Amino acid sequence: MAKAGAPPKFMEAHVNWVFWKIASKEPMGRKEIVKETGLGEGSIRTILEKLDEYGLVKSAKIGRTLSDDGKKVRDSLRKIVEVRRIDQLKMSKGSKNVAVLVKGSSNKIKTGMEQRDAAIRIGRGGVTTLLYKKGKLIMPGFGDDMVLDKKYPEDSKAILDAIEPQDGDVIVIGSEDSNQKAEEAAWIGASTILS
């Protein structure tokens, strides 16, 4: 009887993230995806198998590219998702910051803890969820909700300079010691909204 290998060290949300990476930079070889994400070779192989199963990517000598269905999904995602790096934020105390904007999804946010908790489950902790309402960035879950402009005006400006949200949008910011980990945290958090 064959021994089972180690359990995969990724969540379904990582599949979304790897798909986005390929969609943003295709073609991408497996080693490049490992380098870009920091995920292990075995996890990437399994994720690519899933993307193949879903009919979203195809293998070529130069790496993975999107299938026709994958291009449709990419085009749909680009209508509702943006990813941006953000300079230093005081609220994240010197960490690297990556934001994932999910358009028109503020109605899916309860307290913002759901996004943070998803990131914690994969070993990331620095996730902040913000809502954009009436021209203001709001941090949900603080009684009447905290207006970021009042507590962190410089951060609010930096975020709005990097991303141009519309009323009802959600911004999930990953804050970690590297851009790679920050992007992973932000994607894992944002995936709770996208699913």
The reply to whether 6 falls in a domain is no
Question: Domain of 60: which CATH number?
Answer: 1.10.10.10
pLDDT at 193: 93
DSSP for 29-47 reads -HHHHHHHH---HHHHHHH
Q: Could you list the residue range(s) of the whole structural domain that residue 183 is in?
A: 80-194
List, in sequence order, the alpha helices (H) in 38-152. Answer: 41-53, 68-80, 113-121, 148-151
pLDDT at 10: 65
Domain count for the chain: 2
84, 172: one domain: yes
Distance (Å, rounded) from C-alpha 25 to C-alpha 194? 21
Walk along the chain (195 residues) and give the pLDDT tens digit of each residue: 444 544 455 678 889 999 999 999 989 999 999 999 989 999 999 999 999 999 999 998 889 999 999 999 999 999 999 999 998 898 888 689 999 999 999 999 988 889 988 888 877 878 999 999 999 999 998 766 688 888 889 999 999 999 999 999 999 999 998 999 999 999 999 999 987
84, 62: one domain: no
Q: Which of 16, 45, 11, 14 is nearest to 29 (CA)?
A: 45
96, 156: one domain: yes
pLDDT at 82: 94
The reply to whether 101 falls in a domain is yes
pLDDT at 144: 60
Q: What pTM does this model have?
A: 0.87
Strand extents, DSSP E, the chain? 57-60, 63-66, 81-86, 96-102, 127-133, 136-139, 146-147, 170-176
